[in-house]
Amino acid sequence: MSDSFGTWQLDSLIAVGGLGEVWRAHRGSTIAALKRLHTHLARIDEGLRQFAVEQLLATTLPRHPNVVHGLEAGEVADRPYVAMELVDGPDLRQMKVPKHRAIEIVIAACDAATHLHGEGWVHGDICPGNIVIGTDRIVLVDLGVARGIGEGGAVRGTHAYMAPEQVKGEAWTRATDVFALGIVLWELVAGARLFHRGPPWLSMAAVVEASVPALPDASLDAIVQRALAKDRGQRTPTAEALGAELSALAS
C-alpha cells in the first residue's frame, strides 16, 4: 500500500541525498521520480534556496533528450517537492562498458552539459550515479546542486567528482563540468576509481593534488588529460569542445 503526498502516491524509495529523498511515485497513469526536501531543511533558508533552483530548472528549462525533464514543482504541507520524469535503466555505477561505448556515453553527457550551459547553468554533480542509460537515450539527472555560471559559494557536489575550484569554494564555470566529465570518462575506460579515497576530505584533497595516470590509448589520454587540468585556464573550456574532440576521435 503506497503513501500519499499531495496528489501523488509514493510507491518506493529510490534514493536519499543531501537535499532530499527521491521516490518512485504515480498519479493516475503518470509515473515520476518525486524528490521532496528533507523536513529539517524545509526550515532552513539555505536548503530552501537550493531546492528552489531545482524546482526552477524543472519547470523552465527547455527540453533536451539527454537532460532529465521536470513534470511539476510545488509544495505539500510546507514541504517543497519536484516531480521529474522517471528514466528506466541502470546508472553508470552498475555498468562496465567497452571503450567505444564509454566515449559514446560521455559524448551524450557532454551534449547534456552543453544544453545546461547554454541556459546559463552549471550542473555541478556529474558523476556515474547521475548518468542513466535509458532504453533509447542517455540521460543526465539530478539538478539538485546546479548553480549559475560564475557563481561561487558553499562546497557542493560528489566529493570524488568535484573540480578543484568546487573544492576551494570558487566560482563555477563551464569548465567545472568538463572536469567531472573527464573523471567519468577516465574511470569508464580504466575500470577504476580516480580520486576516491574514502573519507570526503581525502577525496577532495586528491582532486586538487593527485596526478592522473595515463590511459593506454595515447590519443584518448591526451583528451582526458586536458579535461582534467587542475588549472581551469589550461582545461578544455567547455563540454561542447570536449564532445567535439571525442566525436572526432570516434569517427
Residues involved in catalysis: 125
Residues 6 or more apart whose Cβ sits within 8 Å of residue 195: 160, 161, 183, 203, 206, 207, 210
CA distance 73 to 85: 12
Distance CA 6, CA 19 (A): 20
Sequence-ordered list of residues with C-beta below 8 angstroms from that of 30, at least 6 positions apart, any chain? 71
How far apart CA 47 and CA 42 sit, in angstroms, is 7
Q: Decide if 114 contacts 239 (C-beta within 8 A).
A: yes
Question: In this structure, how many other beta carbons lie within 10 angstroms of the beta carbon of residue 227?
Answer: 27
For residue 64, list its beta bridge partners: 67
C-alpha span between 163 and 145 (Å, rounded): 14
